[in-house]
Amino acid sequence: MDRILIRGGARLSGEIRASGSKNSTLALMAAALLADGEVILRNVPRLRDVETMLEILRALGASADWAEGDEQSLRIDPAALNQPEAPYDLVRKMRASFMVLGPLLARFGSARVSEPGGCAIGVRPVDQHLKGLAALGAKIQLDHGYVEATAAELRGGRVAFDLTTVNGTQNVMMAATLARGETLIENAAREPEVVELAAVLGAMGAEIEGAGGDRVVIRGVESLSGVEHTVTGDRIEAGTLLAAGLVTGGDVRVTGVKPVFMESTLEKFREAGADIETDEGTARIRMAGPLQPLRAVTAPFPGFPTDMQAQLMAVLTLAEGSSVVVEQVFENRFMHVPELQRLGADISVSGRSAHIRGVPRLMGAPVMATDLRASAGLIVAALAAEGDTVVNRVYHIDRGYERIEAKLRALGAEIEREK
Ligand code: EPZ
């Protein structure tokens, strides 16, 4: 079990390139199942979650692997797809694998995918995914923990989601590309990862209009071709690296991202007192004065992202005054709070609101990672704490951050991984 050791106090400065987006990559790997040809994805982050999705694609019969000679590219060819069943032991490792359901249903007319079950941050049901696929004519059954979906022929329909779901929107969008007729998705998620998926499906021959808005129209086509695509930079990793620069009073430039997809995050950093500069592919944060308290409420895009909530809270533990963070997307996403308290933070939680009273300093201590973004929040806090912090269970971090300690070390952090 790896651990990460951090000696806090260094002001981070310098330039670092963000890796490709984990969440875009996972959706695009599922979309590859729809293609009648090879799909090549570039700028892919080498993450545990990507490896898990590769195993799932192989279990379905597709050929899927890192490209020869280019360690950041994937080659996926679904030609040999012969097994429309995604096994429990893989799906339970990563909920995003549920996104193979729509493509398998569209391609085979049937699919069997394990119910992903809950995870640390919440129950995370998939009822909206199933409601959407049923609206396209699928018959859905639950059988011993598996979702069995069958549809002699998917046909276009109207899907009105009861709530905003990113992977639900992506799952239904993918199925609708090969359905007969037109599909209207209402209350669609507007995340950049939905927009990127729609763009790639379009390049494969799909007819999709309105992605990025809450009404998306998909006109079904006969087949989709292979495609080559370079994945956009990871907006959450970039936000995490900027939060590290902010909390240490540093000067950090993150390249390889689109700040236009980070506006709500950058706005919060400005409210906290940071000076932010952006151009088309770079965001720079400089922090000279004291951290200012603020109120943040997580919401679907373009609101403040729930995936940045722990990282922002870590910064606010050292603000001059009291802040409030409201987590509206997931019901149990404050597990970083007790660990931040171990570092000396003064936080009280009531329901979906966390009240953070700024303290003059944090003190390093051993802490426990519980989920991907909570771990990132602990690392951000540890970088500003006095003394040594040990973050245990870093496999959570490796799911979503490629070589996080190398990136932070390049910015001047005293951080290393201990096997
Ligand atoms: C995606 O998960 C991301 N994962 C999450 O990132 C992110 O936190 C989340 O979107 C919200 O932005 C990937 O893209 C792989 P949702 P997703 O469906 O799509 C409820 C990370 O750290 N809901 O938008 O699964 C759900 O319980 C991960 O990279 C239903 O009730 O999230 C949640 O409360 C963590 N029924 C809310 O909607 C459904 O059928 C939003 O979830 C689906 C969702």
Burial class (CB in 10 A: 0-12, 13-18, 19+), 334: buried
Task: Give yes or no: residues 221 and 188 share one domain.
Answer: yes
pLDDT-based confidence at residue 412 (cuts at 50, 70, 90): very high
The catalytic residue among 81, 119, 297, 324 is 119
Of 282, 276, 367, nearest to 317 by C-alpha is 367
Res 124: pLDDT: 80
* Domain of residue 329, residue span: 3-18+233-418
Residue 100 annotated in active site: no
Place of tokens 């069995």: 148
Task: Give yes or no: residues 371 and 287 share one domain.
Answer: yes
Question: What is the Å distance from ligand 1's center to 94 Cα?
Answer: 12
CA distance 26 to 253: 26
The contacts of residue 89 (CB under 8 Å, 6+ apart) are none
Q: What is the dihedral of CA 252, 254, 258, 262, to 10 degrees?
A: -50
228 sits in which H/E element: strand 227-230
Per-residue pLDDT, averaged over 253-265, amounts to 98
Question: What is the Å distance from ligand 1's center to 166 Cα?
Answer: 6
Give the domain-ending residue among 171, 195, 230.
230
Task: Give yes or no: residues 145 and 44 share one domain.
Answer: yes
What is the pTM assigned to this prediction?
0.97
Q: Residue 319's domain is classified under what CATH number? A: 3.65.10.10
Residue 119 pLDDT > 80: no
The model's pLDDT over 198-244, given as tens digits with 9 standing for 90+, comes to 999 999 999 999 999 999 999 999 999 999 999 999 999 999 999 99
Structural domain count, the chain? 2
Task: Give yes or no: residues 214 and 288 share one domain.
Answer: no
| Residue 131 CB less than 6 A away from ligand 1 | no
| Residue 125 CB less than 6 A away from ligand 1 | yes
Residue with the nearest Cα to atom 35 of ligand 1?
307
Task: Give yes or no: residues 286 and 149 share one domain.
Answer: no
Please state which of the ranges 12-21, 80-89, 111-120 shows the lowest mean pLDDT: 111-120
Residue with the nearest Cα to atom 5 of ligand 1?
307
Question: What is the Å distance from ligand 1's center to 361 Cα?
Answer: 34
Task: Give yes or no: residues 206 and 262 share one domain.
Answer: no
Angle CA(120)–CA(385)–CA(262) in degrees, nearest 5?
A: 60
Atom of ligand 1 nearest to the CA of 49: 15
Place of tokens 């690296």: 241
Question: What is the Å distance from ligand 1's center to 270 Cα?
Answer: 27
| Residue 128 CB less than 6 A away from ligand 1 | yes
Q: What angle, rounded to 10 degrees, do the helices at 372-384 and 235-247 form?
A: 20
Give the domain-ending residue among 183, 199, 230.
230
Of 335, 309, 328, 324, nearest to 357 by C-alpha is 324
Angle CA(355)–CA(357)–CA(361) in degrees, nearest 5?
A: 140
Residue 64 pLDDT > 80: yes
- Percent of the chain scoring above 90 in pLDDT: 90
Give the mutation target among 24, 52, 124 for probing the ligand 1 site: most ligand atoms within 8 A of CB: 124
Cβ count near 301 (within 10 Å): 20
Angle CA(31)–CA(232)–CA(271) in degrees, nearest 5?
A: 125
Beta strands 39-42; 63-67: pairing state: unpaired
Task: Give yes or no: residues 140 and 197 share one domain.
Answer: yes
Question: What is the Å distance from ligand 1's center to 124 Cα?
Answer: 7
Task: Give yes or no: residues 46 and 174 share one domain.
Answer: yes
Residue 413 pLDDT > 80: yes
